[in-house]
Amino acid sequence: MEIEKKIEAILFWKGEPVSRKKLGEILKVEQTEINKGIEKLKENLAGRGIVLLEKENDISLGTAPEFSKLIENLQKEELNKELSKASLETLSIILYKNGANKSEIDYIRGVNSSFTLRALSVRGLVEKSTDERDNRRYIYKPSFETLSFLGIKSVEELPDYASVNDSIEVVAKNWAAETDNGHKSE
């Protein structure tokens, strides 16, 4: 299969930037082949609604600039809708864990949370920062706006915080143990 199609599939599935190095590791190919695949993908996406975004060594899919008004209108519409069950689940995990990476959230929920995390980020309910323990990952934390909206000063003020946090931590430790033993990978 052509490498540019594999790169496109990975970027679509991840829903967040992926480094060229990580693409090479996933696809088990040299960087020269990754670079050729990225260039070919750029060519294939020319004149379409999706473009390849690059920032330093990170690559991501995005919408073409000529559709920014359309996307802006969709975002405004999305911001005015109620949160979905998936969004509420994901936000609850982030709140009660006071920050979690995508793999932890996926493990706890049992599904891929890329689109849900993106929606929560767009709405300003979560903030994404680089994981200090592993700079290839992001940690999602509740935004100040979320805490303010909930009328709390810190996550510890959430109902039943200690017991829910303990339950989530047990699941997160299971995930960490599986990850450390090589059963799962980011």
CATH number for the domain harbouring residue 175: 1.10.10.10
d(CA 77, CA 117): 17
Instruction: Give yes or no: residues 55 and 17 share one domain.
Output: yes
Which pLDDT score, from 0 to 100, does residue 136 have?
81
3-state SS, residue 141:
strand
Range(s) of the domain holding residue 11: 3-65
Where are the alpha helices (H) located in 15-160, listed in sequence order? Answer: 20-27, 31-45, 68-79, 85-97, 102-109, 114-122, 144-150
Which pLDDT score, from 0 to 100, does residue 180 have?
67
Token pair listed for 52: 């390849």
Instruction: Give yes or no: residues 44 and 113 share one domain.
Output: no
Distances in whole angstroms, Cα of residue 115 to Cα of each of 23, 57, 106, 179: 20, 22, 11, 23
Give the strand pairing for 126-130 and 138-142. Answer: antiparallel
Which pLDDT score, from 0 to 100, does residue 181 have?
61
| 33 close to 40: Cβ distance less than 8 angstroms | no
Q: If 0-12 CB within 10 Å is exposed, 13-18 middle and 19+ buried, where does residue 154 land?
A: exposed
- Tell me the average confidence (pLDDT) per consecutive run of 10 residues in the chain, 186 residues long: 92 89 95 96 94 90 89 74 89 93 92 91 90 87 88 89 87 75 47
Q: First and final CA of the chain: distance in angstroms? A: 23
Give the chain's domain count: 2
Instruction: Give yes or no: residues 92 and 28 share one domain.
Output: no
Which pLDDT score, from 0 to 100, does residue 68 have?
85
Instruction: Give yes or no: residues 105 and 160 share one domain.
Output: yes
* Listed residue (82, 164, 160) closest to 123, CA to CA: 82
